[in-house]
Structure 1
Amino acid sequence: MWRARLTSPLFRLALLGAALAALTLGALALHIPGADTVGTPLRANLFVGVLAVSVGVYLLAVRLVLRSDLPASAPWLVLALAVLLRLALLPELPFLSSDIYRYVWDGQVQAAGINPYRYVPADPALAHLRDPAVFPLINRADYARTIYPPAAQVFFALVAQVGASVTAMKAAMLLCEAVAMVCLLRLLALAGLPQVRILIYAWNPLVLWSFALDGHVDALAVALLALALLARARHRDGVAGALLAAATLVKFLPVVVAPAFVRGGRLWRPALAGAGVIVVLYALYLSAGRHVLGFLPAYGAEEGFDTGHGFWLLAGLSRLVPLPDSAGRIYALGVAVAFAALSWWVATRRAPSGGPDTVRLCRDAGLLAAIATAAANPHYAWYYAWLALPAAVAPSPAVIWLSAAPVLFYVDPFNDRFVWPALVFVPALILAGRALRPAASALAHPRGAS
């Protein structure tokens, strides 16, 4: 009897959870207290190595929940560990990214009645707002206006009313995660799937470190997207469109999943609701005039997208042949055309009879999100964390890999935009190719053909 218990799926899940907890706390112990990075290059490399092992443990746990019959208590185990790990990271100051200091600053600026798009943080007009806990750690403080869109700014302003601190902002992001996980549990129930699959999101190491440690605003976008998916699954198309627009005005990238929301001809209601949200939110900050887009117009040049060297594929190609000055524009145009074709295919497919298909909705959203994110291939790890959300309902090996493996991007030992990222993108391409083989075979040999 004891041997059966020790080999049961629930016991193995508990072991994997214990391993994930030990690796998380071990990685945290590598940080030198008070340092705004891990501490030293050696510690940073060790830290990422531990995170890579934790991704391996996570993938084993995902495999277990997808292939085993787990008892009704399993989701409670998953959620309990997810909460404990987040609470362990919450009190720690961020050391993988300094973005959260800009969030707190933007909230303080708005609390003072000033449009956050009007000045760079180092502008003398804001000198009276500077404090030793936040201002010295703001990145790009002397040359970049805020890049964060209006929905994010409204959120920063609301959090500032509760507490103008990094801990308060991180706690707010974890509340957003709680909303997202409640929505995921409901989506899994609507799809008739085991709720233990919440693990795909809740135990994802990249999600954990991005939100519980660094408090990235992507957590707000994830919560709004989860609410939008739930509203769409419940036939509330206008609400879904409004929520998706709000998510887009947190991080812009969620707009790419819009075709999944209009599949089956549901266009005008979500489009009008979304457009209304965008107009209202931007109207709140129009006093900044042309600066209402903040640092966004200059961001692409800083990341090397204009020359093409910021794109993984072109960075690799540049090692073989010189790239023309227009390489970045050609790449972007090609991606835009291909993505438009994919979007049209997703949006115009016939909706399933009998109501919305929750799994297909999340599968389409995950496909669009993964392709768009991979095509843009940002070298910041947290940009990929949102992919874990739709993958919890519609698991895809390539999407799950892309949602976790970018923990490797926390270091760049070669200072190169091709070699090190290849450890993430090449396996993703292989997994995507394997997933496409059955579909290609079905097209080549349709059922009933002689």
Structure 2
Amino acid sequence: MSESGSRPEVTAHGSTAATPRATGGSISAEARSVPGTPRVPRPLIAIVQGLIGSLMMFVGSIGIGWIALGSPMVRNPLVIAMRTEGWGIVISTVLLTFGAMLLMRSWVRLGQRLTGWPEGSLRAVVTAVLAWSLPLLLAVPIFSRDVYAYIGQGRLMAAGENPYTTGISTLDNWFMLGADPAWAESRTPYGPVFLWLAHLVVRVTGAQPDLAVLLFRVLSCVGVALCVLYVPKLAEMHGFDGARALWLTVANPLFLISFVASAHNDGLMVGLAVAGTYFAATGRPIRGILLVTASIGIKPITILLLPFIGLLWAGTNASWPRKFATWAGTAILSFGLLLLSGIPYDLGPGWILAILDPTPGYTGYSPSGFLSMQVNRIGDAVGLPGGDIAATLRNILKYLGIGIVVLLMFWGEGQRSHRVVRRMGLAFAAVVLLSPVIQPWYILWFLPFLAVTGIKDNWQVRVLYVVTGFFVIFGAQDQLSVWPYIEVSFNVSTIAYVVALAFTGYLMFLDPHTKHVLIEGGPRGWLERRRRRRRVR
């Protein structure tokens, strides 16, 4: 996803737009001042539609979201009916899935309605983020129940245990508080700062699951707010429209579902990283290092950003001695603070283990996981140790991602802030995409850094549509909670999948607005351009 040029081009929405610097959303002052040009072409319609979708998800979450068995909500008559009666489970599944897909459509339509990104667009996008987030802030956790594991981490801290060496299964009543059994013996993958926050949440709430989930959501929403504040600023300083960058990232349904509804701590991690990058890019490197170090303290994966923060500190046209000096200064300051952060509660350097010992296994939809599965089958078919070869392939791809990070540290087009932040995003993307395990929200780790340096309104934004849609559909049919002792004569995942697939078909082939995104503006548009070239010849 590189910078776009200055030529006019047909947008993904079927209209022709001339962009002065990038189809990533820049718009000239002359274009903004044309008499009679509407400031914002009715974005309220898309915002209201998205709000309806978000409200549907809120209602659906009551019957199919993740509720801790120890929550007082399970004794509410309405909740009991929606989670034990067949009609309640079906309605909840349909509402949750249809609402998620309606939110997806509203996001696409908001971008279409704001094509050209005139004055007032940023306010419209911020309004959409607020409107779509509020129902999700109050919903039962959906698409993931990791937030209940955070309660377990905080309880370990309160009990004087070290989450880097002890699993939550050592705690009484841990399963009743909603955590997935996969967390029973797992060491925490989080940084010391987040463990402090988890301890604080448990102390404030007494580990009451509903209140604890709400506070963890508030923490994640702090990260969302940081992105709302600094994503537009980073984009504008790089010559791209801030409203469009915010629409691509924070208004994205996957972003709101993952960081608000699911309450993943990754939201706070990403927000701190984006804020730190902004300060480093604007000549305040110490503040930038402190914020990125805080991000590492939430989840250590953002340690990958430190070399590029050092390059931003070095500045444009810096000599190699200066680059090495700023890299050393960045490392000393950041690692020193992280080592000090392990002293309280005797956590030690456990965050290093979280980096060196990542989540085991692989996901079948990751490039690494998918390729290794095929290699495994082929190897077994020809009498070779397919499992060993597949494991080796996954390791090779993982280390290839790390190699790309090192390469982008030392090589790139110039040292201007835009180029460095772009390389930062590409390095982060390489590590994520070549990892054997990719969770849906991992895509959001690097998306802001690509958005603020320009995502073209062509195949690049369509790839984002496809990836977002895939993970929204995946979460809607994969992460559904049905109590194990409830007997139903249907498969709720199948219902969700059918609803999501039918809605996707409508968006692609029937909806007169959104079908341009993947069909008329995508493959069909490419074929039309090929035909025109042949006629010219």
Shorter chain as denominator, the TM-score bin is: 0.7 to 0.9
Q: 2:148, 2:179 within 8 Å by CA — same for their partners in 1?
A: yes
2:192 to 150, 171, 178: 150
Aligned-residue RMSD, C-alpha: 4.0
Instruction: Kindly indicate whether residue 294 of structure 2 is the aligned counterpart of residue 246 of structure 1.
Output: yes
Q: Which amino acid aligns with 1:376?
A: S
Q: Distance in 2 between matches of 1:346 and 1:94?
A: 38
Deviations 1:6-43 (A, max 9, x none): 99572243333233223332333333437528965896
Instruction: Kindly indicate whether residue 148 of structure 2 is the aligned counterpart of residue 83 of structure 1.
Output: no
Deviations 1:237-292 (A, max 9, x none): 34433433332342233233344334452412212222212322234454579898
Q: Which amino acid aligns with 2:432?
A: T
1:112-151 pair list within 5 angstroms: 112-123=159-170, 126-127=171-172, 130=173, 135-140=177-182, 142-151=184-193
Q: Distance in 2 between matches of 1:6 and 1:167?
A: 46
> TM (normalized to structure 2)?
0.63
2:338 to 265, 269, 278: 278
1:6-85 pair list within 5 angstroms: 8=38, 10-33=40-63, 35-36=65-66, 44=93, 47-48=96-97, 50-52=99-101, 54-62=103-111, 65=114, 67-71=115-119, 73-85=120-132
Q: 2:58, 2:139 within 8 Å by CA — same for their partners in 1?
A: no
For 1:343, the equivalent position in structure 2 comes to: 406
Instruction: Kindly indicate whether residue 431 of structure 2 is the aligned counterpart of residue 372 of structure 1.
Output: yes
> What residue ranges of structure 1 are gaps of 5+ in the alignment?
415-422, 424-429, 435-450
Q: 1:9, 1:64 within 8 Å by CA — same for their partners in 2?
A: no
> TM (normalized to structure 1)?
0.74
Q: Which amino acid aligns with 1:101?
A: Y
Give 1:144 deviation, angstroms. 2.7
Q: Distance in 2 between matches of 1:299 and 1:173?
A: 22
Give 1:101 deviation, angstroms. 1.3
For 1:419, the equivalent position in structure 2 comes to: none
> What residue ranges of structure 2 are gaps of 5+ in the alignment?
1-33, 68-81, 84-88, 312-317, 381-385, 479-492, 495-503, 505-517, 523-537
2:222 to 161, 175, 179: 175
Q: 2:189, 2:358 within 8 Å by CA — same for their partners in 1?
A: no
Q: Per the alignment, in what secondary structure is the counterpart of residue 331 of structure 2?
A: helix
Q: 2:292, 2:306 within 8 Å by CA — same for their partners in 1?
A: yes
1:382 to 427, 432, 441: 441
Distance of aligned partners of 1:403 and 1:254 in 2 relative to their CA distance in 1, 3 Å threshold = farther
Instruction: Kindly indicate whether residue 139 of structure 2 is the aligned counterpart of residue 92 of structure 1.
Output: yes
Q: Distance in 2 between matches of 1:196 and 1:236?
A: 24
Deviates further, 105-114 or 36-45: 36-45
Rg larger in structure: 2
Distance of aligned partners of 1:298 and 1:11 in 2 relative to their CA distance in 1, 3 Å threshold = closer
For 1:203, the equivalent position in structure 2 comes to: 251
Q: 1:260, 1:365 within 8 Å by CA — same for their partners in 2?
A: yes
Give 1:208 deviation, angstroms. 0.6
1:268-307 pair list within 5 angstroms: 268-284=328-344, 286=346, 293=353, 297=357, 299-301=359-361, 303=362
Bigger relative CO (Cα 8 Å, ≥ 6 apart): 2
2:473 to 386, 408, 420: 408
Deviations 1:43-65 (A, max 9, x none): 65874465345334424534665
Q: Distance in 2 between matches of 1:120 and 1:295?
A: 17
Give 1:219 deviation, angstroms. 0.9
Q: 1:238, 1:269 within 8 Å by CA — same for their partners in 2?
A: no
Q: 1:150, 1:282 within 8 Å by CA — same for their partners in 2?
A: yes
Q: Which amino acid aligns with 1:55?
A: M
Q: Distance in 2 between matches of 1:32 and 1:42?
A: 11
For 2:371, the equivalent position in structure 1 comes to: 313
Q: 1:386, 1:403 within 8 Å by CA — same for their partners in 2?
A: no
Distance of aligned partners of 1:309 and 1:14 in 2 relative to their CA distance in 1, 3 Å threshold = closer
Deviations 1:58-88 (A, max 9, x none): 24534665x50412x2222221221122221
Q: Per the alignment, in what secondary structure is the counterpart of residue 31 of structure 1?
A: helix
Q: Which amino acid aligns with 2:372?
A: L
Distance of aligned partners of 1:91 and 1:29 in 2 relative to their CA distance in 1, 3 Å threshold = closer
Give 1:227 deviation, angstroms. 1.9
For 1:444, the equivalent position in structure 2 comes to: none
Distance of aligned partners of 1:196 and 1:385 in 2 relative to their CA distance in 1, 3 Å threshold = same
Q: Distance in 2 between matches of 1:309 and 1:193?
A: 31
Q: Distance in 1 between matches of 2:432 and 2:91?
A: 30
For 1:363, the equivalent position in structure 2 comes to: 422
Give 1:346 deviation, angstroms. 4.3
Distance of aligned partners of 1:41 and 1:337 in 2 relative to their CA distance in 1, 3 Å threshold = farther
Q: Distance in 1 between matches of 2:213 and 2:307?
A: 36
Matched residues, number = 401
Q: Which amino acid aligns with 1:153?
A: L
